[in-house]
């Protein structure tokens, strides 16, 4: 009896009525319906009337026309569709208007009913395959069922998060857990997070690395040997849209290629499906503080469901002054609204200013973020990346964290692989031992590479690359060597640096 009741439910059209009523009353929900129903599209609906109404809505959207009971009715008439109700009457404006009375206010409930429609469609498909003896094709829709179960669980979790709780319920059940893409507060599922730092600190590299960690469900900041003492757990596979405003596509692709090479070197082959879950697009129209720019972003979010959208850099996606609180607030409100509507995280890549503290004074890194403090006051998480030490290599970085809803960990030192740019956590002791260079090593390099005498720009360029340290560090070592009598400097701005005691012949070469 129970099986018969379940089978009967597969042909229930009440959910279809409610969903179509929602779309006619609130056309902006069509994007959610397209995402949830996926490739099934109109075929997910059992009732032929429902299929035709849904197709009419899609047609109007494709033509950028208004979706409503009048326009939908016109499309149906133009197609010559004889759409009937149960009592045999033609579906007219009154009938379409009646559908809107079934509209659901809750976005969560709307998604749940869409999932039911998709579930019923899959069940009907299975029954058809069994009836026609096509059992070998059942494996093709098995993954659809798996995806559906996972998506319905996400919606159920969100519904629990949105339900108001009394103090008694909080005491009894505890505070609902914050849902995250990457755990321990690093990347939440909604809102906006930031990657900040001064210029040329590998902010874009870090953002792309995070996108590949989500695509492959690889923990973030894992050591080469698999050690997880510094790692943040990636909780689910996720899709990323990377919008870039200043970099060339060739530069972005070269970073991706290097990172993928690094994953492979660590024994993690990335499949084609995983690679397809990260997509990049050069920004031309998205502006976060204008209506036209937000419309352009909304269109991108409607095309495909994304878990994370990277904006790189934030300043090129704004028309207003980032230093003004009102301009920042407009952007924040827009991102928060879109995040809740499309259930995605926005990751903003943004610049920081140089430290202004006096020597020996501690600095709050997050105070270095350019622009209004409103940006900092409202983000869910932030990673501030910078060179760990001027005396060490440019590939040795320090990441400082700030989380809204999780304990803030100590700053993390990472070393970027010079070939793949893949980060590896390092303890302070390990970092101290890396890229150590002194004045005697520099003297040996000048002797070997320049025969004891070299022009300043050539010496600094080679030495900084060879020792993996900043050019400032090399200039300081040259000055130190001069004081200690190890180097001499020819007169003039472009005069050669010469190892002390070398002949005039070497100076002239």
pTM > 0.75: no
Token pair listed for 93 = 């404006």
Instruction: Give the domains, in start order, of the chain with CATH numbers.
Output: 13-157 (1.10.860.10), 180-355+366-434 (3.40.50.300), 439-499 (1.10.10.10)
Q: What is the DSSP code string of 463-485?
A: HHHHHT--HHHHHHHHHHHHHTT
Please, are residues 389 and 343 in contact by the beta-carbon 8 Å criterion?
no
Say if CB 252 and CB 244 are below 8 A apart. yes
Q: Which two tokens stand for residue 345?
A: 């995280």
DSSP assignment of 79-129 equals HT---B-TTS-B--HHHHHHHHTT--S-HHHHHHHHHHHHHHHHHHHHHHH
Could you tell me which of 343, 291, 428 has the C-alpha nearest to residue 157? 343
**Rg, C-alpha atoms of the chain:** 30
* Structure tokens, 77: 């008439």
Q: Which two tokens stand for residue 402?
A: 């700030």
Q: Helices 69-79 and 93-100 meet at what angle, rounded to 10?
A: 140
Q: Per-residue pLDDT for the chain (509 aa), expressed as one digit of tens each? A: 344 444 455 666 788 888 998 998 888 889 888 888 887 888 888 888 888 899 999 999 888 888 888 889 888 888 775 444 444 444 567 778 788 777 777 777 788 888 888 888 877 777 766 666 555 555 555 555 555 555 555 555 555 555 666 767 666 666 556 689 999 999 999 999 999 999 889 999 999 999 999 999 999 999 887 777 788 999 989 999 999 987 678 888 999 999 999 999 888 899 999 999 999 999 889 999 998 999 999 989 888 889 999 999 999 999 988 888 888 889 999 999 999 888 899 999 999 876 655 444 556 778 888 888 888 889 999 999 998 876 566 788 999 999 988 889 999 999 888 788 899 998 887 777 665 677 888 888 888 888 888 888 898 888 877 776 777 878 888 888 888 888 998 888 778 899 887 545 444 54
Q: Decide if 76 contacts 57 (C-beta within 8 A).
A: no
In angstroms, rounded to a whole number, what is the distance separating the alpha carbons of residues 446 and 463?
Answer: 9
Provide the CA 41 distance to its chain's centre, in angstroms: 27
- Which letter, b or e, does each residue of 84-94 get, where b requires 16 or more Cβ atoms within 10 Å of its Cβ? eeeeeeebeee
């Amino acid at each position: 009896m129970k099986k018969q009741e379940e089978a009967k439910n597969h042909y229930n059209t009440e959910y279809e009525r409610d969903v179509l009523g929602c779309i006619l009353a609130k056309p902006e929900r069509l994007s959610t319906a397209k995402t949830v129903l996926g490739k099934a599209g109109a075929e997910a609906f059992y009732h032929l009337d429902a299929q035709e109404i849904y197709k009419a809505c899609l047609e109007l959207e494709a033509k950028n026309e208004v979706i409503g009971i009048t326009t939908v009715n016109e499309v149906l008439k133009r197609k010559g569709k004889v759409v009937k109700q149960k009592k045999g009457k033609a579906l007219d404006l009154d009938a379409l208007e009646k559908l809107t009375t079934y509209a659901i206010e809750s976005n969560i409930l709307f998604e749940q009913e869409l999932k039911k429609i998709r579930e019923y469609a899959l069940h009907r498909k299975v029954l058809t395959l069994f009836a026609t003896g096509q059992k070998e094709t059942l494996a093709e829709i098995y993954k659809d069922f798996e995806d559906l179960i996972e998506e319905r669980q996400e919606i159920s979790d969100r519904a629990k998060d949105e339900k108001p709780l009394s103090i008694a319920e909080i005491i009894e059940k505890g505070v609902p857990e914050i849902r995250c893409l990457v755990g321990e507060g690093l990347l939440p599922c909604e809102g906006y997070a930031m990657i900040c730092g001064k210029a040329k600190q590998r902010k874009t590299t870090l953002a792309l690395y995070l996108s590949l960690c989500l695509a492959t469900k690889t923990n973030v900041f894992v050591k080469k040997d698999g050690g997880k003492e510094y790692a943040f757990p990636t909780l689910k596979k996720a899709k990323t849209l990377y919008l870039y405003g200043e970099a060339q596509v060739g530069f972005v692709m070269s970073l991706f290629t290097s990172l993928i090479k690094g994953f492979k070197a660590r024994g993690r082959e990335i499949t084609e499906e995983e690679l397809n879950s990260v997509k990049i697009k050069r920004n031309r129209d998205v502006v976060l503080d204008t209506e036209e720019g937000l419309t352009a972003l909304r269109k991108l979010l409607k095309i495909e469901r994304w878990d994370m959208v990277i904006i790189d850099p934030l300043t090129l996606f704004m028309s207003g002054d980032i230093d003004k609180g009102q301009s920042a607030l407009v952007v924040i409100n827009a991102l928060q609204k879109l995040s809740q509507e499309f259930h995605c995280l926005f990751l903003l890549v943004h610049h920081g200013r140089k430290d202004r503290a006096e020597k020996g004074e501690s600095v709050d890194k997050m105070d270095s973020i350019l622009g209004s403090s409103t940006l900092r006051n409202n983000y869910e998480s932030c990673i501030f990346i910078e060179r760990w030490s001027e005396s060490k290599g440019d590939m040795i970085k320090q990441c400082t964290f700030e989380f809204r809803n999780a304990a803030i960990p100590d700053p993390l030192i990472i070393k970027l692989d010079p070939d793949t740019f893949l980060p590896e956590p390092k303890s302070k002791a390990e970092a101290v031992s890396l890229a150590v260079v002194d004045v005697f090593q520099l003297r040996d390099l000048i002797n070997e590479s320049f025969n004891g005498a070299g022009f300043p720009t050539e010496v600094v360029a080679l030495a900084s690359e060879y020792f993996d340290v900043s050019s400032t560090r090399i200039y300081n070592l040259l000055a130190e060597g001069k004081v200690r009598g190890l180097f001499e400097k020819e007169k003039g701005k472009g005069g050669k640096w010469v190892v002390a005691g070398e002949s005039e012949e070497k100076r002239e070469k």
